């Protein structure tokens, strides 16, 4: 269904004249002839036909392609631009008026896009001007590469390549060349340029209904700048594919649109068609340059990206390639005062990429760093991973993508965190977030620099400062509580929000209060933490009924926000959402009793089961290992084994769950029978000890091929009493870590 096009205009019949009035008000170097509405001519304010001693360069055509052509009027480019009505060739009398206004004794060159109406009207005006005694020459530009030859008498359409031809001609004229020489340079430039466009929508003329010719998910290759049908309609493709297709079409040796071959130098122009964001144009430019260089063997000497010749509100872009040499580049680099020619493009590019400056290396850790025990670092790792996973998952479909990027960065960097140092780990989390997150969330979760002396953190940095301020070498529960309180104070100070503003503070403030309250009441730190996390989630949920007074949400209608919790509050409450963190806290008292060596040993055992190294033991992986050890558990038995330790009920066993199981087994006084069964897995012939051959057999079944030296080392470590054999007593001592 077609709808009336939405335009910010007055009378559709006045759009061109009102555009010209606004243009000359904006750029004092321009003026227009007082002949509205029939005569619509923009010209240089410093030029008079009686005194102008250079060749005048005149172009033009139907309006609706702005900034072409009036936006390129200025010293060093066009002397005048003749404007027709929207998509309508200007009348002969209007063109004649422009010629008379700016043409001096050196004559004028008309640069005309290859459309029948433009050729006829500019041609007739040229002949009339010659009859009046003016020196006039004409160059026709047809740079379209979308339609296959033969193209009949109409030839190739004039597109954005015309802008480059205008620049070459304008620079040649400014250099004082004769009309014949200027025309020769312009004609040569027109023969060296090719253009092809891709449109995602059809333009809508002022006062007209929208076109539904291009449906959802469709694009048109070679669509004309007046909305004429192109070469083909296709499904929308990634810009990589689109750019490759367009470049291949322009440079095709079969069609021979332009005389460009491998090893040539070229100029690239990426032109927006009216409704294409600069971001998308720059993406196209960034893809086109390496493709020209690597796939087509061309040296790209200049790149111009922006909107040069549009089609009202058409979405899409065109790509123009011009063969370049020193003469062409000299003309393109020449100075101009045309308001819409890109400033400062001279081809002298510094390296495209330079290294990211890194912060100064931190000094060596002192003996008073805020360390954690080996088992605590394992718990810290799991806690960080669990929270980041929740944020990443929920953000991908509930929150905006900044939180997702931050959580992903944490997961990627986690392996490099100094988990034995709590303060530095918090600091590194802030660094990960700061690297990838923008917006308010990124600032709140990282730092704000005030001066070289004063560094204030908004969340992680404030917590880091609080943790490192203590003289204690091991972080205590009270220190974590103080760090959270300091982080909240920093966020409130620099963000301006407080409780009730519908921000993340509405989750953090009650969490901090409960944590302090329960610790002061003598609660176990794990209990206090769980209650604190529950308070955070309750606080986040309470934001559903709050009016936003800070952040981006404060600009959104209260009706829209009703019954929707604040995303930032939900994000900081995410540790309570994942059951793994509650479980992590409750398990910590047991796991804390393990040494780093024991944890490392259990990790090796865990990896034997976790064949794909994804951090989880599945039912299939558990069954595979047990079968290789000579056991044949049923599906139900495997399910029961996993259910026994699967605290978060996700159907798999993660390392913390496995670690907790091993810890419980070590404390289980009724595990004698289980140890005997485990010993029998190795001691198949029941001779009372485990030999090297038996160790090798079991490990091979588990997928671990060991050398003789490795087997001997395993026996040496397990042979606690030094008799050269691993008997049952040795095995028990090894399994129980005694």
- Extract the annotated binding site for substrate: 62-65, 118
CA distance 284 to 290: 11
CB 23 within 8 A of CB 67: no
CB 156 within 8 A of CB 144: yes
CA distance 734 to 715: 11
8-state DSSP, 6:
P
CB 94 within 8 A of CB 16: no
CB 302 within 8 A of CB 323: no
Q: Tally Cβ neighbours within 10 Å of residue 597.
A: 10
- Can you say which residues are annotated as belonging to the binding site? 62-65, 118
CB 112 within 8 A of CB 141: yes
CB 267 within 8 A of CB 167: no
Question: What crossing angle do the helices spanning 161-174 and 179-190 adopt, rounded to 10°?
Answer: 160
Residues annotated as part of the active site? 226
Q: Tally Cβ neighbours within 10 Å of residue 558.
A: 11
Please report, for residues 498, 547, 566, the alpha-carbon distance to residue 398 in angstroms, rounded to integers and kept in the order given.
24, 20, 11
Q: Which of 319, 330, 351, 328 is nearest to 264 (CA)?
A: 328
CA distance 593 to 318: 67
CA distance 401 to 422: 28
Helix (H) or strand (E) segment spanning residue 303? strand 299-306
CA torsion through residues 620, 626, 629, 634, sign = negative
CB 338 within 8 A of CB 67: no
DSSP assignment string, 583-604: HHHHHHHHHTTS-HHHHHHHHH
Question: What crossing angle do the helices spanning 596-609 and 619-628 adopt, rounded to 10°?
Answer: 90
Helix (H) or strand (E) segment spanning residue 286? helix 278-290
CA atoms within 13 A on the CB side of 720: 12
């Amino acid at each position: 269904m077609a709808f009336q096009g939405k335009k910010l205009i007055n009378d559709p019949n006045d759009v061109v004249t009102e555009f010209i009035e606004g243009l000359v008000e904006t750029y004092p170097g321009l003026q227009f002839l007082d002949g509205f509405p029939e005569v619509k001519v923009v010209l240089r304010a410093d030029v008079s036909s009686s005194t102008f001693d250079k060749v005048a360069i005149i172009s033009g055509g139907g309006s609706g392609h702005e900034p072409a052509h009036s936006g390129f009027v200025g010293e060093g480019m066009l002397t005048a631009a003749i404007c027709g009505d929207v998509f309508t060739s200007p009348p002969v009398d209007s063109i004649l008026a422009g010629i008379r206004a700016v043409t001096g004794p050196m004559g004028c060159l008309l640069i005309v896009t290859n459309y029948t109406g433009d050729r006829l009207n500019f041609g007739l005006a040229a002949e009339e001007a010659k009859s009046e005694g003016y020196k006039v020459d004409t160059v026709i530009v047809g740079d379209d590469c979308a339609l296959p030859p033969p193209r009949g008498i109409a030839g190739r359409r004039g597109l954005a390549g015309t802008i480059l031809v205008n620049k070459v001609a304008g620079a040649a004229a400014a250099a004082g060349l004769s009309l014949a020489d200027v025309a020769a340079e312009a004609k040569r430039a027109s023969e060296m340029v090719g253009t092809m466009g891709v449109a995602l929508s059809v333009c809508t003329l002022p006062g007209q209904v929208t076109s539904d010719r291009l449906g959802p998910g469709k694009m048109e290759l070679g669509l004309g700048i007046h909305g004429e049908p192109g070469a083909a309609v296709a499904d929308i493709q990634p810009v990589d594919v689109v750019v490759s297709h367009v470049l291949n079409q322009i440079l095709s040796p079969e069609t021979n649109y332009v005389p460009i071959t491998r090893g040539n130098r070229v100029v690239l122009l990426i032109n927006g068609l009216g409704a294409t964001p600069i971001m998308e144009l720059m993406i196209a430019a960034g893809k086109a340059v390496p493709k020209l260089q690597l796939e087509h063997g061309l040296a790209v000497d200049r790149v111009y990206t922006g909107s040069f010749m549009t089609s009202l509100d058409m979405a899409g872009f065109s790509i123009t390639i011009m063969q370049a040499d020193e003469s062409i580049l000299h003309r393109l680099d020449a100075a101009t005062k045309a308001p819409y020619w890109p400033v400062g493009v001279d081809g002298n590019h510094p390296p495209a990429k330079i290294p990211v400056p890194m912060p100064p290396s931190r000094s060596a850790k002192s003996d008073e760093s805020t360390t954690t025990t080996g088992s605590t670092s394992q718990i810290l790792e799991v806690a960080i991973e669990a929270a980041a996973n929740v944020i990443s998952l929920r953000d991908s479909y509930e929150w905006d993508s900044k939180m997702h990027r931050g959580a992903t960065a944490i997961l990627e960097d986690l392996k490099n965190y100094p988990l034995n140092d709590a303060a530095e780990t918090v600091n590194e989390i802030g660094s990960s977030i700061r690297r990838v997150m923008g917006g308010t969330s990124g600032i709140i979760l990282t730092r704000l620099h005030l001066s070289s002396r004063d560094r204030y953190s908004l969340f992680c940095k404030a917590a880091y400062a609080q943790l490192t301020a203590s003289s204690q070498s091991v972080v205590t529960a009270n220190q974590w509580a103080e760090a959270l309180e300091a982080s909240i104070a920093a966020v409130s100070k620099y963000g301006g929000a407080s409780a009730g503003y519908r921000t993340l503070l509405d989750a953090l403030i009650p969490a901090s209060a409960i944590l302090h309250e329960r610790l002061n009441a003598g609660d176990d730190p794990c209990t206090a933490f769980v209650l604190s996390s529950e308070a955070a989630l309750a606080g986040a949920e309470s934001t559903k009924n709050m009016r936003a007074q800070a952040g981006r949400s404060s600009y959104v209608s209260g009706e829209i926000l009703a019954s929707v919790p604040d995303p930032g509050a939900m994000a900081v409450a995410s540790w309570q959402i994942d059951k793994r963190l509650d479980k992590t806290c409750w398990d910590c008292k047991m796991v804390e009793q393990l040494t780093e060596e024991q944890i490392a040993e259990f990790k090796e055992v865990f990896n034997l089961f976790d064949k794909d190294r994804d951090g989880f033991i599945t039912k299939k992986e558990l069954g595979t290992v047990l079968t290789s050890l000579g056991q044949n558990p049923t599906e139900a038995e495997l399910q029961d084994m996993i259910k026994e330790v699967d605290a978060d009920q996700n159907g798999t066993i993660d390392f913390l769950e496995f670690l907790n199981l091993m810890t419980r087994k070590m404390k289980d006084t009724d595990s004698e029978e289980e140890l005997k069964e485990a010993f029998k897995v190795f001691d198949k012939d029941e001779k009372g000890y485990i030999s090297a051959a038996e160790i090798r057999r079991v490990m091979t079944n588990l997928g671990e091929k060991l050398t003789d030296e490795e087997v001997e080392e395993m026996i040496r470590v397990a042979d606690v009493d030094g008799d050269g054999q691993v008997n049952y007593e040795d095995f028990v001592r090894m399994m129980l870590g005694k």
